[in-house]
């Protein structure tokens, strides 16, 4: 659990800091999103969903669907930053609801990692962290465009980076106080949210339904990596 705590806090901050050094372009970010989205969807279909249904039963499907629908609501406020959208914020800076929805997404995503089995699942951890990198890059880009200033920008980034670790600590407390099996249901919720993001990223990898060879290659590479990492 300690590894997951540190990784979830540090990776978004390091990704945000990389913007100043590398100045990533929108096209490169979309390729990274396509790769990470395909890897996440592959890990979910090949590994997480079969094992979760085996451990919990069909009732976990309601949690997965709930997570999928919850993400639909959150993205109404988040400006699509989860899939790398970097639209200019409205006048007055980044809305507080946008940062809150992104942080709530990360908080819910972190809760199941309080379960030692989930925290030790390197495929799931890697997939979620891959998705955090372009998400953090998009967020800091939007914050900078909002003209918030260096201190406020990094205060917002620290708040965002803290959300998943706080979710892990919260999950640990409810796992101890209530029922450890509840964490598996929260895993279903997180998978539903990530499935929505992953599939949206893949569908958006070809805007206007035009074939884009590089983005298709990124999706294919992410899917193949999930297959080989499962069976390698």
More confident residue, 26 or 34: 34
CA gap 124, 3 in Å, rounded = 13
> Is residue 30 in some structural domain?
no
Q: What is the largest CA-CA distance in the chain?
A: 51
Q: How much is the pLDDT for 221?
A: 92
Count of structural domains, the chain: 1
- Is residue 29 one of the residues assigned to a domain? no
Contact call for residues 42 and 227 (beta carbons, < 8 A): yes
Quickly count: other Cβ atoms within 10 Å of residue 225's Cβ.
20
Whether residue 110 lies inside any domain: the answer is: yes
Residue 208 placed within a domain = yes
Distance CA 115, CA 219 (A): 30
**pLDDT (0 to 100) of residue 141:** 84
Residue 35: HSE in the Cβ half-sphere, 13 Å Cα cutoff: 17
Buried/exposed 195-206: b ≥16 CB within 10 Å, e otherwise? bbbbbbbbebbe
**Interval 59-88: pLDDT, tens:** 999 999 999 999 999 988 887 777 666 665
The domain in which residue 134 lies consists of: 2-13+36-231
User: Could you tell me the pLDDT band of residue 205, with boundaries at 50, 70 and 90?
Assistant: low
Each residue's pLDDT tens digit, 147-194 = 777 888 899 999 999 999 999 999 998 876 777 788 899 999 999 999
- Look at residue 19 and tell me if it is in a domain: no
Q: Is the pLDDT of residue 207 over 60?
A: no
Q: What whole-number distance in Å separates Cα of residue 10 and Cα of residue 18?
A: 12
Helix residue spans in 95-181 (DSSP H): 96-110, 116-119, 122-145, 150-177
- For the record, the structure tokens of 56 come out as 């919990």
Predicted pLDDT at 125: 92
Choice between 27 and 226, residue whose per-residue pLDDT is larger = 226
- Assigned domain for 174 exists: yes
Task: Identify the pLDDT of residue 193.
Answer: 93
Full-model pTM: 0.88
Task: Label residue 40 exposed, middle or buried (CB < 10 Å: 0-12, 13-18, 19+).
Answer: buried
Residue 79 is assigned to a structural domain of this protein: yes
Q: What is the spatial distance between Cα 65 and Cα 176, in angstroms, rounded to a whole number?
A: 26
106-140 residue pLDDT tens: 999 999 999 988 888 898 999 899 888 888 888 88
- pLDDT surpassing 60 at residue 27: yes
> What pLDDT shows up at residue 64?
96
Q: Which residue has the tokens 């060879």?
A: 213
Q: Check: CB of residue 130 under 8 Å from CB of residue 15.
A: no
Q: Which letter, b or e, does each residue of 3-29 get, where b requires 16 or more Cβ atoms within 10 Å of its Cβ? A: ebbebbbebbbebbeebeeeebeeeeb
């Amino acid at each position: 659990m300690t590894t997951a705590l540190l990784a979830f806090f540090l990776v978004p901050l390091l990704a945000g800091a990389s913007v100043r050094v590398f100045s990533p372009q929108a096209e490169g970010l979309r390729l990274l999103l396509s790769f990470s989205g395909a890897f996440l969807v592959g890990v979910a279909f090949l590994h997480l969903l079969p094992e979760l249904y085996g451990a919990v039963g069909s009732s976990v499907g309601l949690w997965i669907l709930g997570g999928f629908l919850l993400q639909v609501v959150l993205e109404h406020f988040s400006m699509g930053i989860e899939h790398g959208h970097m639209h200019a914020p409205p006048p007055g800076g980044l809305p507080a609801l946008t940062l809150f929805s992104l942080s709530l997404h990360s908080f819910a995503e972190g809760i199941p990692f309080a379960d030692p089995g989930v925290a030790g699942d390197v495929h799931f951890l890697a997939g979620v962290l891959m998705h955090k990198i372009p998400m953090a890059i998009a967020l800091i880009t939007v914050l900078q465009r909002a003209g918030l200033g260096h201190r406020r920008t990094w205060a917002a980034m620290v708040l965002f980076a803290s959300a998943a670790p706080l979710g892990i600590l919260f999950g640990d407390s409810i796992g101890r106080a209530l029922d450890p099996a509840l964490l598996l249901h929260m895993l279903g919720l997180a998978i539903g949210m990530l499935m929505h993001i992953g599939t949206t990223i893949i569908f958006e990898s070809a805007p206007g339904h035009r074939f884009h060879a590089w983005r298709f290659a990124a999706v294919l590479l992410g899917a193949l990596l999930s297959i080989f990492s499962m069976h390698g």
